[in-house]
Amino acid sequence: MEADRQLLDSIVQRRIAHSGNSFLRRHLDNANRKNTLDGRTLRIVKRGNLHIDLAVGLSMANSECWRLNL
């Protein structure tokens, strides 16, 4: 959940960009966010029965880059 919040923060702060890949765009469009009660973390959830695998992968990759200080 922290990785998903970190991805949202990176996108809002314009610290992450992508090439316009249609598959990534579709998977991000298929994703909804579910906030936790405290509002500090969130989770990427599917909108219906649609694929969000690339959105989840981007979240994990972004988190790992921040962890490694890249």
Span 32-65, pLDDT tens digits? 999 988 878 899 999 999 999 999 999 999 999 9
**For residue 63, what pLDDT is reported?**
96
Global pTM value: 0.86
**For residue 36, what pLDDT is reported?**
86
The pLDDT tens digits of the residues spanning 13-38 come to 999 988 999 999 999 999 999 998 88
Paired with 33 in beta bridges are 44
- Measured CA to CA, the distance from residue 70 to residue 54 in angstroms comes to 20
For 1-68, the DSSP string reads: -HHHHHHHHHHHTT-------HHHHHHHHTEEEEE-TTSS-EEEEESTT---HHHHHHHHHHHHHHHT
Answer for the pair 2, 62: CB distance below 8 angstroms, yes or no: no
**For residue 28, what pLDDT is reported?**
94
| In the chain, where the domains are located | 2-67
